[in-house]
Amino acid sequence: ARTIFLKDYQAPAFLIEKTELHFDLDETRTRVTSRLVLRRNPDLAGNVEDTLQLDGQDMVLESLRIDGNELSSNDYVVADESLTINSVSAFASQSPDAGFVLECVTVIKPQENTSLEGLYKSRTMFCTQCEAEGFRKITYYLDRPDVMSVFTTTIVADKDKYPVLLSNGNDIAHGDLDGGRHWVTWEDPFRKPCYLFALVAGDLKHIEDTFTTCSQRDITLRIFVEEKDLDKCDHAMDSLKHAMRWDEEVYGREYDLDIFMIVAVDDFNMGAMENKGLNIFNTSCVLANPATTTDLAFQRVEAVVAHEYFHNWSGNRVTCRDWFQLSLKEGFTVFRDAEFSADMGSRSVKRVENVSFLRTAQFAEDAGPMAHPVRPDSYMEISNFYTLTIYEKGAEVVRMIRELLGPEKFRAGSDLYFDRHDGQAVTTEDFVLAMEAASGVDLGQFRRWYTQAGTPQLKISDNYDASAQTYELLVRQSCPPTPEQSHKDAFHIPLRMSLLNADGDELPLVLSGEPAASDAPTERVLDVTSDVQSFVFKGVKSRPVPSLLRGFSAPVKLQFDYSRDDLLFIMTRDSDGFNRWSAAQDLAVAVIQEILQQHQRGQSPGIDKRLLDAVGDILRSAVADARGSGELDQAMLAQLLSLPSEAYLSELSNEIDVDGIHWARETLADALAVEHAENFADLYKLCQSDAPYSADAASIARRTLKNCCLAYLVRTQEPRWLEICYRQFNEAGNMTDADAALRLLVNSPAEAAQPLRTQALNDFYERWQHESLVVNQWFSVQAIASRPGTLAQVKLLMNHKAFDIRNPNKARALISAFCNMNAVNFHALSGEGYTFLADQVITLNRLNPQIAARLLTPLTRWQKYNQQRQHLMKAELERIQADPELSRDVYEVVSKSLK
Ligand code: HT7
Ligand code: ZN
């Protein structure tokens, strides 16, 4: 299969100035007529290119004209993925430097398009997904982001079936036609690459609102959905207005068109898409109401609506030159949406959630066979590079730039970047250059974060010299080899830190060589730039406890030999909320690993009493607080009470002991539950509320803490708690509480849970069978149950009338949930979990290669398991590899993971 390299990038030989599209939508064949105004790219010195190669696939070419002159089949070559016109000048009426018009008529079959790229049907509506390379399935085009054009789109369709016809920009004309058909023409005044093109046709209803921008322009906001979902749009609309205001206030970015539209579709490969003025969303990321939607999903809707909206500047007004620069828009936009969410809710909880996800999933990716830099050097299939590295690590890279510049200079850098590059297609280097120019900070070495893959390790040791009153931090950095990169140069790592004295107070930080100052800072960002580096602080009167990597100031693995008492100290005394949580996690990890080792040696587990006591202290003060003024941040409390996930514990292991990790974590959780049942019960009761559902941060925090307590209480296996759980399930006035209770009943190993579980699952389906997103929850609840026999249940559910493997949300709810969130069953030593996944990948490879390649991820991590599992996993990868019709997507992932 072909590999595309960044080093081979060449600017386009032709530009497309105008794009006029005409769609004749039909149930069996859709005719697309395009009229493109092209010219030779004048920016290429000596450009005399006469061959025009357009991208295109899966379509039938009906006719081709240049300046009105029809081309015959001898004048061009149609291949699987391209159309090549050998001599443009032979047909153009003037020099191609001055411009020519290419008219092309093609026929496509959206109703047969299961890849969900290009134009396709989702249920009864037509919709598009063009990023990254879907436009080439609609018509022949220069499908690359550095070709930007002004688009005018006319859509013709049956008026009864498709009363709503949408595209980018403004509706400039519409009318009726004979035969019950109608038409609309949309014009988008902003030049854009074709990946931002969108079209929607369907029987849709909408809600509408107005946003007045900072310059007093009124923007019409519309959210289009199927009629049955009209009652689930308000939260997205509120989120959109919050995001629009936030982008004005925090980044100085105003919306540009007069209308902003969102459309919800059921069949969608990812979360949503930022098409100019017409965002298309997976229903799961836009619909929300209290009865059907959990708090987590409410928060996701807010974040995704904001993310797509923010792309209007970071992505659309300033776009990527080529797909190697994907993190330019995605990393920056994830950073922006994370900051938005932090401002809407609790900043430290948001950071905790992001970092847990990054340390679990992105670190695993960085250690696996698909590891790649934030700016990759090569790819076979770009769809495979919409990764956690591009998105999440990319956001961390932007966050580090802000750490190094400080917030004011960072904002100046962002302003300069948008000013300099508005209307352009640029690179991550342009972004860094703007940051440097606006701040005067040298980011030379920092650029390695864009070019080197892998997670750096920081090993820090300390040395206190009582007589000299100096305290030294000796920092060593290293980075493990990754595919194609065996050696790594030192990174520039911002290490935010503080030193705590025995009372938990922060000490003034003066490095040796610096003048003593009465106003010395108590928190600093150290520039770690060498393989080994020493930082000596002076005037330190007693041995301090260092608070390192505050707020997770860099995406690295930190090793410091903290005693458990040090961790307990940080957990309770550090003023940095993130580090308090991180110390609690580190302590829990140490205790779980100890239980695991005892288990592996055949010893009975001894659980460190200090952890049990610390949790008791936290619970007691939480109870006191909830009885009093309720000052404690309940969301942070729930985070503190949550044990590290099996996935995180696995990421930390050299060889993953699947069953041992599960057993050790369960043992600790059960012990905490039994030890503190009374406190959990008090807190559970104190967190009850009769107030109507609200998705504000405080209410979400209260429910999260309540359900965290219930989870511990159900662990006691006491019948009364199972009954209370069942009652919560039945009487819950919102989906968050019902879903939490259902999950607990489904997972409980208690015998008394069995009849309750069966009843609850049946009732749940009965009640929600017409709500597709709720049915997805019902699938995933069952798929992640760690009880034996779950795979058999998953296989039964694959045949359930509500399951459809063609719908990515359904495939994710059942297949992906089982393979990624149910380690003990997926990794069963029989190998049947692996065979199951391989079978699904082979099926999906033909239907939807993007989803097939993504589902494959857990099998690619075979190197982390024991010999027996490695052997079984590799055998399944080889079986997939032997499929003669492997898509490029799946081929790339399989071949790289077997290398
Ligand atoms: N920029 C969007 C990417 C996207 C996508 C990529 C490949 C295949 C399907 C897709 N749907 C959306 C989403 C975003 O990051 O905002
Ligand atoms: Zn994005």
Evaluate if residue 95 carries a pLDDT over 60: yes
Nearest to 275 by CA among 230, 231, 319: 319
The DSSP code sequence of 563-623 is -HHHHHHHHHH-S-HHHHHHHHHHHHHHHHHHHHHHHHTTPPP---HHHHHHHHHHHHHHH
CA atoms within 13 A on the CB side of 377: 11
Looking from the CA of residue 270, the nearest atom of ligand 1 is 11
Which residues have C-beta atoms less than 6 Å from ligand 1? 129, 131-132, 269-270, 272-274, 307-308, 311, 330, 383, 386, 850
Residue 356: pLDDT over 90: yes
806 HSE (CA, 13 A, CB side): 13
- Distance between CA 171 and CA 167 in Å, rounded? 8
Q: From the CA of 715, how far away is ligand 2's center (Å)?
A: 39
Instruction: For residue range 681-708, list pLDDT tens digits in order.
Output: 999 999 999 999 999 999 999 999 999 9
pLDDT at 123: 97
Q: Which atom of ligand 1 is nearest to the CA of 383?
A: 7
* Residue nearest to ligand 1 atom 15, measured at CA: 330
pLDDT higher than 80, residue 630: no
Looking at the CA of 337, name the nearest ligand.
Answer: 2
Query: Distance between CA 745 and CA 724 in Å, rounded?
Result: 11
Q: What is the dihedral of CA 882, 885, 890, 892, to 10 degrees?
A: 80
CA 215–ligand 2 middle distance (angstroms): 26
Locate all alpha helices (DSSP H) within 233-294, ordered by sequence: 234-251
Distance 273 CA to ligand 2 centre (A): 7
The pLDDT confidence band at residue 262, using thresholds 50, 70 and 90, is very high
Hey, which of 120, 131, 283 would you mutate to test ligand 1's pocket, going by the most ligand atoms within 8 Å of its Cβ? 131
Percent of the chain with pLDDT over 70: 100
pTM of the model: 0.98
Q: To test ligand 1's pocket by mutation, which of 128, 262, 273 has the most ligand atoms within 8 angstroms of CB?
A: 273
**Chain centre distance of CA 503:** 40
**Most ligand 1 atoms within 8 A of CB, residue of 130, 143, 304, 386 to mutate:** 386
Instruction: Identify the H or E element spanning 753.
Output: helix 753-768
Minimum-distance ligand to the CA of 335? 2
Residue 461 DSSP SS3: strand
User: pLDDT at position 461, please?
Assistant: 98
CB 133 within 8 A of CB 81: no
How do residues 304-320 score in pLDDT, each as one tens digit?
Answer: 999 999 999 999 999 99
Task: Report which protein residue has its CA nearest ligand 1's atom 10.
Answer: 270
Of the pLDDT bands very low, low, confident and very high (cuts 50, 70, 90), residue 631 is: low
Whether 376 shows a pLDDT value over 60: the answer reads yes
Question: Could you give the 3-state DSSP secondary structure of residue 698?
Answer: helix
Any residues with CB less than 8 A from the CB of 630 and at least 6 apart, and which?
none
The residues with which 176 forms a beta bridge, in sequence order, are 182
Atom of ligand 1 nearest to the CA of 330: 15
CA distances from residue 230 to 282, 363, 458, 604 in whole angstroms, order as listed = 15, 40, 51, 56
Strand order across the 76-79 sheet: 52-55, 82-85, 76-79
Measured from the alpha carbon of residue 134, the closest ligand is 1
The whole-number average pLDDT for the span 536-549 is 98
The reported pLDDT for the residue numbered 765 is 98
Evaluate if residue 879 carries a pLDDT over 60: yes
Nearest-CA residue for ligand 1 atom 12 is 273
Tens digit of each residue's pLDDT (9 = 90 or more) over 728-768: 999 999 999 999 999 999 999 999 999 999 999 999 999 99
pLDDT tier at 207, thresholds 50, 70, 90: very high
Q: What is the pLDDT of residue 632?
A: 64
Give 807's Cβ-side CA count (13 Å radius): 21
Q: pLDDT of 20-29, one tens digit each?
A: 999 999 999 9
* Residue 547: band (very low, low, confident or very high) from pLDDT cuts 50, 70, 90: very high
Q: What is the 8-class DSSP label of residue 775?
A: H
CA of 31 from ligand 1 middle (Å) equals 26
Nearest partner of 221 among 162, 277, 164, 151, judged by Cα: 277
Q: Of all protein residues, whose CA lies closest to atom 2 belonging to ligand 1?
A: 273
Average pLDDT over residues 192-204: 99
Instruction: Tell me the per-residue pLDDT of 554-590, one tens digit each, with 9 for 90 and over.
Output: 999 999 999 999 999 999 999 999 999 999 999 999 9
Which ligand is nearest to the Cα of residue 280, counting in written order? 1
pLDDT in tens, 74-90: 999 999 999 999 999 99
Q: Could you list the active site residues?
A: 308
Q: How confident is the model at residue 354 (pLDDT cuts 50, 70, 90)?
A: very high
Mean pLDDT of the 60-70 span? 98
Q: Say yes or no to pLDDT of 626 above 90.
A: no
Q: Whole-number mean pLDDT of the chain?
A: 98
Instruction: Report pLDDT digits (tens) over 111-153.
Output: 999 999 999 999 999 999 999 999 999 999 999 999 999 999 9
| Residue among 116, 120, 270, 390 to mutate when testing ligand 1 (max atoms within 8 A of CB) | 270
Q: Write down the pLDDT at residue 627.
A: 86
**At residue 876, does pLDDT exceed 80?**
yes
**What was the ipTM of the complex prediction?**
0.99
Give 270 Cα–ligand 1 centroid separation in angstroms.
Answer: 6
Residue 508 pLDDT greater than 90, yes or no: yes
Relative to beta strand 457-465, strand 557-560 is parallel
Instruction: Tell how far the Cα of 262 is from the centroid of ligand 1, in angstroms.
Output: 15
pLDDT at position 629 over 80: no
Mean pLDDT of 204-217: 99
Mean pLDDT of 399-421: 99
**Alpha helices in 311-447, H assignment, sequence order:** 326-344, 347-357, 363-366, 388, 394-405, 407-421, 428-439
Report how far ligand 2's centroid is from the alpha carbon of 464 (Å): 47
Residue 78 has which token pair? 């149609």
Question: What is the predicted pLDDT for the residue at 404?
Answer: 98
The DSSP code sequence of 102-166 is: EEEEEEE-GGG--S-SEEEEETTEEEEE-TTTTGGGTS-B--STT--EEEEEEEEEETTT--EEE
* Residue 628 in this model has a pLDDT that exceeds 80: no
